[in-house]
Amino acid sequence: MLTITGYSDRLSARPGETIRFMVNCEHPSYRADIVRLICADDSPSGPGFKERAIPTPVSKRHKGRRQAIHAGSYALVETRPLLETLESFTVQAMIWPTTPGKGEQGIVTKWDPRSRTGFALVIDDDGSVALRLGLADGTVETVSVGKPLLERHWYLAAASYDAGSNTITVHQEPLQPYARVDDGGTASRKVGPTAAGCGAPVVMAATFRRRQKGRVLVDGLYNGKIDSPRLVGRALGRLDIERVRNEAVPAALAPDILCAWDFSRDITSVKISDRSSHHCHGEIVNLPARGMTGWNFSGEEMCWRHARHEYGAIHFHDDDLYDAGWEVDFEWTVPARAASGVYAARLRARDAEEYVPFVVLPAPGKEARIAFLLPTVEYMAYANEHMAFDGALAELLTGQLPTLNPNQLFLNQRREYGASLYDTHSDGSGICYSSRLRPILNMRPKVETPWACAGEDATNAREFILDMYVVDWLTHFGFEHDVITDEDVHREGIDLLGSYDVLITGGHPEYYSKAMRDAVHGFTQQGGRLMYLGGNGFYWRVAMHRELPGVIEVRRCEAAIRTWEADPGEYYHSFTGEYGGLWRHQGDTAPQRLSGVGFVAEGFDKSSYYRRTPESHDPRARFVFEGIDDELIGDFGFHGEGAAGNELDAADPRLGTPPHALVLARSENHTDLYLVVNEEMLVNHSGMGGTEHEKVRADMVFYETPNGGAVFSVGSICYPASLPWNGYDNNIAKLTTNVLRRFADPEPI
């Protein structure tokens, strides 16, 4: 079990800027040091772990303390005087519960657990709609319909209290009734005088517990969608309940409408809007899913921007997480002379060790000519993934037992740390948001992945460790370089990349926003040189939130390899309104258009090698193979014993590979655990394995771009893990170094 974890408030900073670190430590104290990371692989067969300690004011012992993560999403509306003196009232919402049998869950609540006052429209322990109401004598009355709700079906949930007759009435009505299913009804009971008004906030999808250091803590987290929640200042009959649901503020009932929240508004925001005259607006906490189809979704429009009234639902989850919300333990202001690179706060307590990586950007005007683009959006997409435990096909896909490390065992027990965009929520729905404002325990040096290729010398290196091989290679050969991040490119665009002659990617830059893609494409078209040293790159389109830092969104739709699938009508990003899915389905934007190659196959058992093609002898590519006589390239490596493996990209002129591109080398001899990906086929059939199908290959491609630029792509995730083989004395390191030296030469290509 991990006893120290941490995260930072940002993943990159320039000299003069401050990074804040939040730490959970179960020991009385811990030692913090700032280190520069060079190589992140500490496996016995690897190239050797390399770090350099940096003297800083924070390099000392710090007091340890426990910090908790409160996962789960809900909507919060701070109380108003008119809500604190309720007598007669009606509370209602349309609900689509996904785990109605898990125990009590709040729907729309204004409940003070200390004084036992207020009301709470809930799903009760029996899985049916109920109203809990505080009585004037301090007791609590609960009235339940007593008929369990069906999962993933729409219901009207409503309850009223008539102060004149002291009567509670609760409605549970299915939108789609079934002939032999009794899942609806009405319950009514007379009670004593109530204490329905209280000072607690209105909470939707949970119930208020207490305030702690400025935060609201809740219980009874709800799983499912909520649409059209309303609060009315008198007891309504059934017909008026219907009118309030459909019209929000019917003219005849307007004076009595206290709150009419409309979740179809502010979809790109964290706000929720009240359409009543009282403006009881609120906000969502921990990013429940927005842009979701509501109870009245017709399917006539599939984009929420075109039919907002049909997208009035928010899907809440009891394990949603945006910001862990920990308090700051220490902070570091980057010194003026700090060199650009990958750094980390190294935390040690007894035998426990934790790293919190970040990037130091160059000072303005002090940029090098070479930039390494660290794929931090990729790390967010895979953050704290649970596939080794939860992936039903994990062993079949990889042909091996997953290798579980202590971090994965910890995450399996501590689900509040959140999961990745490959995982599902506790209710089975896909996770479409991922944040870096929490400990990301697989974005760490020394932490291997269960998804690397097998082999005698395999180090299970993907994502962060894999990308650090590139940093080690650059350092080994003395290339002066800067390190920048995906978020920096998204935020600053071509203005950031325009400072460089050469841009180098990591091994798996899979997730790209439009701003990122436009910046990289613009860079190559304006004379920049791109070295794409990976596979499965520029693949999924993601959105970044316009208000909140450090969070991404993906909508998994259409043909692609995917661990979950968005429901119909929910293919458009809530953050931006952009269509989700693969870049190759978004017009003339397939990866081949950007890098000359695109994703065609994947496998996880063994890597292979490249064989040179006749085009490798073209005079245009002479510089690439200078000093290399080998026919086979990369028949070695720390990731599956070869440079070509894991996920493979190939050239395809139909998808945008330039007609003048040279395919310099092509991988071969892949096993039948390598399969052609879904989007490359129209009909699923036999013969799609590595020994059978020509598309199971990685293409090494070179071509020139306008204004003296160029692109060099390798089409394989495993490629960087072959760079350090034999102390960098190998043909992959030689070839890649040849390319970089020519690309860094200002002479037009």
Would you place residue 439 in the very low, low, confident or very high pLDDT band (cuts 50, 70, 90)?
very high
For the segment(s) 74-316, the CATH number from 2.60.120.200, 2.30.30.90, 1.10.287.470, 2.60.40.1180 is: 2.60.120.200
pLDDT per residue over 334-353, tens digit each?
Answer: 999 999 999 999 999 999 99
pLDDT per residue over 576-606, tens digit each?
Answer: 999 999 999 999 999 999 999 999 999 988 9
Q: What is the pLDDT of residue 456?
A: 54
Q: Is the pLDDT of residue 484 over 60?
A: yes
Q: Provide φ and ψ at 6, rounded to 5°.
A: -165, 170
Kindly report the three-state secondary structure assignment for every residue of 609-663.
EEEECHHHHCHHHCCCCCCCCCCEECCCCCCCCCCECCEEEECCHHHCCCCCCEE
pLDDT per residue over 141-196, tens digit each?
Answer: 999 999 999 999 999 999 999 999 999 999 999 999 999 999 999 999 999 888 77
Cβ–Cβ under 8 Å, residues 22 and 329 = yes
Q: pTM of the full predicted structure? A: 0.96
Q: Is the pLDDT of residue 455 over 60?
A: no
Q: Which element (helix H / strand E) includes 735? A: helix 731-744
Averaged pLDDT score across all residues of the chain? 95
Q: Is the pLDDT of residue 355 over 80?
A: yes
Give the C-alpha separation, 689 to 148, whole Å.
47
What six digits make up the tokens of 192?
Answer: 């004593």
Q: What is the pLDDT of residue 100?
A: 98
Pairing of strands 647-650, 699-705: unpaired
pLDDT per residue over 644-654, tens digit each?
Answer: 999 999 999 99
Q: What is the pLDDT of residue 388?
A: 77
Q: What is the pLDDT of residue 279?
A: 97
Give the C-alpha separation, 509 to 204, whole Å.
38
Q: What is the pLDDT of residue 154?
A: 98
| Ranges for all domains in the chain classified under CATH 2.60.40 | 4-68+327-357
Would you place residue 401 in the very low, low, confident or very high pLDDT band (cuts 50, 70, 90)?
confident
Q: Is the pLDDT of residue 394 over 80?
A: no
Give the C-alpha separation, 270 to 283, whole Å.
5
Give the C-alpha separation, 125 to 105, whole Å.
8
Of 191, 247, 491, the residue nearest 361 (C-alpha): 491
Fold of 4-68+327-357: Immunoglobulin-like (2.60.40)
| Ranges for all domains in the chain classified under CATH 2.60.120.200 | 74-316
Q: Is the pLDDT of residue 453 over 60?
A: no
Over pLDDT 90: what percentage of the chain?
88
